[in-house]
Structure 1
């Protein structure tokens, strides 16, 4: 019976948000994630001391946590502390625009009072100016409370009866009670670093680091390295790198880690898993013994020998689930490669399954890997992902899943939870990769951070400012303290996160603010050195406007014969959605079963078509027990299609869990695609009513895939003259 070593690694990261020159911080994410994820994830481990894992703590995050403990603030916190009866108009508008920044389904709607305030606000319908008259003083104060309270980890309410009692009150908080909560928040932040040190000192957790301000290290060596994965990429005008800056990011990360945790880090998750051959001597020089990146880097480094087939199955798993060595110029490091499919399961899919089912699925996958690699001397499964962003999409903050996973993995005779260094000590890697491919954990390239015109303009702005800084430093007319502050602003601007939001890869409502902060850090260099910043740094780099909708709309009645044959012309006028990732803070690497969703209507029926990835629907849906069309509108309505791979599967409509029709009213056919038609009359909608839904694949108790991955599809029941109206428009 084969044993699998599970190397679970949580990456805890935030960019450096504060503008230290202006003394401002416009973003609250370090503070809010601090009381929710950074502390909560450590408390989970404290509950199960026999479970071992690795936590990567980014230095720029730790600096900000320390600052909050010593009294730092941010705009959200400042407005939170203001008396509700004395808010200036701009503060009240800020409150209504920014105090619902959470995933509503999991973090707002489950809380009765927060839900009331959310509905009262009318987001997406009314401006803050229009909504403000609906809010009384006590509403604004309760909103100040709940915007902070909902960002506290569920375990805290189990462990702290006073905090639980505060939450149970729910409404009509006083100013004193609000201030107590915000003081409590700071006390909780003060526990984060000591608790991580405690877990590390008792050997349960290995703590690792990342270059200080989270830069893409290979691009600091040489921007031309982007061409290895993208030969035709358009690079910035200035293509050279800044290896001396890379050295400083690594050195300062190691020094800070040693100061906070009492020992130097052995391991490193390079920012965004981005690696190259040239960086190896630098890391070894500063005591780094091992690094981690994504499985696709291994695939490219072995010239495609390791990879996945169209169904997502690993080719040569015995090469992926092990440790390797990489070497350059006499320096040698260990390296491991994350299983990006299992990592994505945790980050994007398990949120839709009960905790026990998700945990059982995870453990079952580990067993399957062990069986596939039974001839390996030692099998290592690295699962590496964000330890913060995914939990706000779990209905209980991930508590049931993590509790089940940690306990079950620790007790399973075929699974050994390990820290990475612990595994490498017991099983030193024997084989050396001939050369490490240059790329990141996202599609084995650097496309997120370079190549798009916006990215390139940002790199060129950084280069021009850096040239100015070097000239000023060489002239010797500034004191060392001022120059050090200016260089800090440069290192901050080299962080990956600013480039993450440029281009068309990711977008959020805060794109403009990220753009402003990047350019402000560059302007600060000129300000600190008594120069007027150039006008170009006052001009936005990002051209992002409002969010693009995730799908278009039907533009004509459809003439669909429900036969599963995927006629192009039948669906040419349908709305079309390409399955992907709508969550801007995280990237989904693996492809699910669902590939495309098309939907529309004729005069009497809602029509939906499902295309699958990696083969026809009649084959790919064989592993699916049911396909669910879940409706937000009409409320509490659901269509369930059992055994959807069958040529003529049966569909059932339920309302509030009770069957409202048999399969005779729903027409379904599966062949190359799955096609479905349901009469509007059976949905209970009339002309103009919204129809909002999602498509989900179920296997047993687990959700296998969902479209859209976040959000819902939206359309309205058409009138009989829909086509005439569309023609006139």
Structure 2
């Protein structure tokens, strides 16, 4: 009798496209495409008797297709720029972000890359200042090496150009860098056809997840969290959208069939998150099997499965069950996590021997389900996990007592007899939903989503004949799990502010696609750390500047508050900033704002500058640089924008200066103003001051000057 082993590698990336900026804000789809997705197949292909399953999330597949169509990310754009032509902000962006890789396995093995990291410092200060220390050749080497190490070693060994480039190691040319980036796009184009070919050969099974990777039980009803987390603090509003949960499943199945020409038989629910309602929707979509974590089984049958890491009765876990005509596999958490988090520090053959020994010691029959992330683990392994995977597949191919199977193959050959009376709601992390709900930031994100979706439903009822498919797509994107993965304290990323901004921009776009004004709360970051931005210098007294767009004199703005825009916001944004400083000040009659451009004024033609006040009332001041020297003031009343006035106290020459009389914007003494400025071109947001959050200005009393003097 042999043991069946069903391995599923889960491939997923969130949807990184910022609809307001019309570009991908993070490069991880492209970089994992060059490092993980194709080589996983190429390694497996050498072992034709080994069968494996791959789960491909549609939000990943969609982005791969968009890269094929020519869309790129900011990192790619900045990699293409000749090093001699990089401006100061672009240099700073590269210095700060082009070491985002595992230093031990991806940076230190390359002497030049390690040298450049040491020059920057693992702990470093202002990237703008640091960038001045780097020569053009060093910057070009950094552009090249970052994109080279994110190509899998297998490709670097097999491709002659890549092999020679790695051997060269330094002093790369612009032509070599350009050819390297072309290799990225070549690799991306091979991925989907390669998976289709392997699936049709029968060696792999392809499965799918709900389209934008939502936590389906919470989309169905986010108060469901109370069942597995009795003490959880729930969001203010009960988000309930069963139709969205169904849409995410059905959209995934349709898209998968369009790409591969056949329907998926299996579905890995995002983060293994299940509930009875979700299993019923999966069944309704025609999916034959699904999977989740062993702890969900333990809680569903109310029985402990382990003492420590040892299974009490392996036969309970090592079989599929049935609920509502859907077969359910429960992964062996210990075996899965050993590959994901432990074996990277082991010698490959020792790790493989330990893995197989654990299987043999646990059982001599049934099906062992090993399910884990198929991309993120490998950068912690030597040689991107190639040696481990080769030895694992080689050992499995030779094994007489362990037979690899796909999940569909197993249920075809082994009728499922055990039925579950209930499904405990939870995910593969702790058998609950604590990562995605309960923290203050998580709950606020849910409440933002609730309000926006409620407004869209109302708008649809009022406009039944209007095509709102694009607005609904933004809702579906916003329902993805990855936004709340980074909210709260459970996980850390240097790019949390980027996730926060993309999430809110998706929700803002819902309104823009319906022709309505986004509500003020969407301009307030969910992440606590980036909501209210503190000035570098606080106002020290009243100011009386001449509004002429020029720095008329040293003392004109001396008493004003000042923000250094180069020090505000996350690394993904600094590269895009058009302005260096933002000043604000006031006297008894007016509020004054000033923006200092970084570059020549000719770079700022044909733009719209929009000043947004979100408290104490909604006000917009719109100034079009090419139209005239008037700024239009709009005040929102009952969700309708009413033009209040036009003012000529605005000028844009060497700097932007504007005076906003308090009586015109209807703001009183001692009130707080929450404000930010947006720069738009061709309807797309190209800059913001501050980059994230808002600036809070306290309107002073008449005796402010006297108080500050004392």
For normalisation by structure 2, the TM-score amounts to 0.73
Structure 2 distance, partners of 1:357, 1:485, is 52
Q: CA deviation at 1:527?
A: 1.7
Preserved contact between residue 19 and residue 506 of structure 2 (Cα < 8 Å): no
Structure 2 distance, partners of 1:320, 1:68, is 41
The equivalent of 1:112 in structure 2 is 111
Please state if 1:543 is matched with 2:542: no
Please give the secondary structure, in 1, of the residue aligned with 2:527.
coil
Q: CA deviation at 1:484?
A: 1.2
Preserved contact between residue 306 and residue 316 of structure 1 (Cα < 8 Å): no
TM superposition outliers: structure 1 runs of 4+ over 4 Å: none
Q: CA RMSD in A?
A: 1.4
1:29-108 mapped onto 2 (5 Å cutoff): 29-108=28-107
Q: CA deviation at 1:211?
A: 0.4
Deviation per CA, 1:554-593: give whole Å up to 9, x if none.
xxxxxxxxxxxxxxxxxxxxxxxxxxxxxxxxxxxxxxxx
Please state if 1:440 is matched with 2:433: no
The equivalent of 2:515 in structure 1 is 530
The equivalent of 2:502 in structure 1 is 517
Please give the secondary structure, in 2, of the residue aligned with 1:397.
helix
1:113-132 mapped onto 2 (5 Å cutoff): 113-132=112-131
Structure 1 distance, partners of 2:173, 2:316, is 60
Preserved contact between residue 54 and residue 208 of structure 1 (Cα < 8 Å): yes
The equivalent of 1:307 in structure 2 is 305
The equivalent of 2:455 in structure 1 is 468
Distance 1:544 1:443, change over 3 A: farther
The equivalent of 1:486 in structure 2 is 471
The equivalent of 1:146 in structure 2 is 145
The equivalent of 2:241 in structure 1 is 242
Structure 1 distance, partners of 2:185, 2:294, is 39
Deviation per CA, 1:310-331: give whole Å up to 9, x if none.
x32122211001111112xxxx
**From 341, 345, 348, the counterpart of 1:348:** 341
Structure 2 distance, partners of 1:484, 1:176, is 43
Preserved contact between residue 220 and residue 243 of structure 1 (Cα < 8 Å): yes
Preserved contact between residue 16 and residue 24 of structure 2 (Cα < 8 Å): yes
Preserved contact between residue 19 and residue 505 of structure 2 (Cα < 8 Å): no
Structure 2 distance, partners of 1:201, 1:162, is 31
Q: CA deviation at 1:487?
A: 0.8
The equivalent of 1:26 in structure 2 is 25
Please state if 1:504 is matched with 2:489: yes
Deviation per CA, 1:11-31: give whole Å up to 9, x if none.
000000002343121100000
Deviation per CA, 1:310-355: give whole Å up to 9, x if none.
x32122211001111112xxxx100000111111110111011111
Distance 1:359 1:209, change over 3 A: same
Please state if 1:358 is matched with 2:356: no
**From 312, 318, 327, the counterpart of 1:321:** 318
Please give the secondary structure, in 2, of the residue aligned with 1:325.
strand
Preserved contact between residue 214 and residue 495 of structure 1 (Cα < 8 Å): yes
Please state if 1:12 is matched with 2:11: yes
Structure 2 distance, partners of 1:544, 1:268, is 37
The equivalent of 2:579 in structure 1 is none
Preserved contact between residue 11 and residue 374 of structure 2 (Cα < 8 Å): yes
Distance 1:199 1:412, change over 3 A: same
Preserved contact between residue 511 and residue 544 of structure 1 (Cα < 8 Å): no
Deviation per CA, 1:471-526: give whole Å up to 9, x if none.
2222228741xx21111111000000001111111111111111111111101111
The equivalent of 2:560 in structure 1 is none
The equivalent of 1:601 in structure 2 is none
Please give the secondary structure, in 1, of the residue aligned with 2:132.
helix
Q: How many residues align?
A: 531
Preserved contact between residue 88 and residue 131 of structure 2 (Cα < 8 Å): no
Q: CA deviation at 1:85?
A: 0.4
Preserved contact between residue 122 and residue 131 of structure 1 (Cα < 8 Å): no
1:225-236 mapped onto 2 (5 Å cutoff): 225-236=224-235
The equivalent of 1:427 in structure 2 is 414
Preserved contact between residue 58 and residue 212 of structure 2 (Cα < 8 Å): yes
Structure 2 distance, partners of 1:459, 1:84, is 43
Please give the secondary structure, in 1, of the residue aligned with 2:18.
coil
Structure 1 distance, partners of 2:190, 2:428, is 31
Deviation per CA, 1:44-97: give whole Å up to 9, x if none.
111212110110000000000011111111111110011110001111111111
The equivalent of 2:168 in structure 1 is 169
**From 386, 391, 413, the counterpart of 2:378:** 391
Please give the secondary structure, in 2, of the residue aligned with 1:191.
helix
Q: CA deviation at 1:357?
A: 0.9
Structure 2 distance, partners of 1:170, 1:125, is 24
Preserved contact between residue 229 and residue 444 of structure 1 (Cα < 8 Å): yes
Larger Rg: 2
Please give the secondary structure, in 2, of the residue aligned with 1:389.
coil
Q: CA deviation at 1:133?
A: 2.3
Stretch moving more, 229-238 or 415-424: 229-238
Structure 2 distance, partners of 1:65, 1:84, is 28
Structure 1 distance, partners of 2:288, 2:426, is 20
The equivalent of 2:289 in structure 1 is 290
Q: Which runs of 5+ in 1 are unaligned?
A: 547-729
The equivalent of 2:558 in structure 1 is none
Please give the secondary structure, in 2, of the residue aligned with 1:134.
coil
Preserved contact between residue 84 and residue 141 of structure 1 (Cα < 8 Å): yes
Preserved contact between residue 23 and residue 71 of structure 2 (Cα < 8 Å): no
Structure 2 distance, partners of 1:262, 1:306, is 42
Please give the secondary structure, in 1, of the residue aligned with 2:431.
coil
Distance 1:504 1:478, change over 3 A: farther
Please state if 1:254 is matched with 2:239: no
Structure 1 distance, partners of 2:461, 2:167, is 61
Structure 2 distance, partners of 1:156, 1:211, is 31
Please give the secondary structure, in 2, of the residue aligned with 1:126.
coil
The equivalent of 1:580 in structure 2 is none
Structure 2 distance, partners of 1:465, 1:286, is 27
Deviation per CA, 1:82-121: give whole Å up to 9, x if none.
1110001111111111111111001111111111111111
Deviation per CA, 1:640-659: give whole Å up to 9, x if none.
xxxxxxxxxxxxxxxxxxxx
Please give the secondary structure, in 1, of the residue aligned with 2:13.
coil
Distance 1:12 1:530, change over 3 A: same
Preserved contact between residue 306 and residue 314 of structure 1 (Cα < 8 Å): no
